[in-house]
């Protein structure tokens, strides 16, 4: 049976993920957190909450052609390794959570365990874009008020 010793406890750091109430403009994304991992360390994403507080449009009017990445809803957060630039929702994300309307999406288990050295970034993105096929005028920006919270656990030495 595993047990937690004082030396083990001293090698664990819990890192908060926190993006307070923020306006995310149409098509924009924001890197919420980045953690560097070196050989012999382990990172886990213990919990993640994505909340859409408000929208500048009626979300029921958003059609498929309004979405940049079709299967990721209106708002999403992804975990990526060594992210530099580009569409955060492109294939290769290690984990994701999405919203299709106002409310909260939560991810608690199973935690994503990462051991490969690199930089791990959590990115939140507004997946909306203008479309002539939509009843939403192209001059109207589809913006969201968002909140992101969660926790990374960094184990400094793996035994």
CA angle 45, 46, 50 (to 5 degrees): 80
Q: What CATH number corresponds to the domain at position 140?
A: 2.60.120
Torsion of CA 132, 135, 140, 143, to 10 degrees: -110
Average of per-residue pLDDT across 57-84: 94
Tell me the pTM: 0.90
Question: Which of 31-40, 107-116, 120-129 is the least confident region?
Answer: 107-116
Does a structural domain hold residue 6? no
Average of per-residue pLDDT across 46-67: 94
Does a structural domain hold residue 3? no
Question: What are the angstrom distances between the C-alpha of 101 and each of 16, 33, 122?
Answer: 25, 24, 21
What is the maximum alpha-carbon separation in the chain? 61
Does a structural domain hold residue 2? no
Does a structural domain hold residue 18? yes
Average of per-residue pLDDT across 32-48: 94
Average of per-residue pLDDT across 18-39: 96
User: How many structural domains is the chain composed of?
Assistant: 1
Residue 159: predicted pLDDT: 60
**Domain range spanning residue 127?**
11-155
């Amino acid at each position: 049976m595993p047990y937690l010793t004082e030396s083990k406890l001293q090698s664990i750091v819990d890192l908060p993920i926190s993006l307070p109430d923020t306006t995310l403009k149409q098509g924009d994304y924001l890197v919420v957190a980045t953690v560097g991992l070196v050989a012999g360390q382990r990172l886990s994403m213990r919990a993640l909450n994505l909340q859409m507080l408000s929208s500048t449009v009626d979300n029921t009017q958003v059609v498929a052609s309004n979405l940049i990445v079709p299967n990721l809803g209106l708002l999403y957060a992804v975990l990526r390794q060594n992210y530099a630039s580009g569409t955060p929702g492109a294939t290769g994300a290690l984990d994701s959570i999405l919203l299709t309307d106002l409310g909260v999406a939560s991810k608690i288990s199973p935690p994503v365990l990462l051991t490969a050295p690199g930089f791990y970034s959590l990115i939140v993105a507004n997946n909306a874009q203008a479309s002539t096929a939509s009843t939403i005028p192209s001059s109207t920006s589809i913006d969201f008020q968002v909140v992101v919270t969660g926790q990374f656990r960094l184990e400094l030495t793996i035994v």
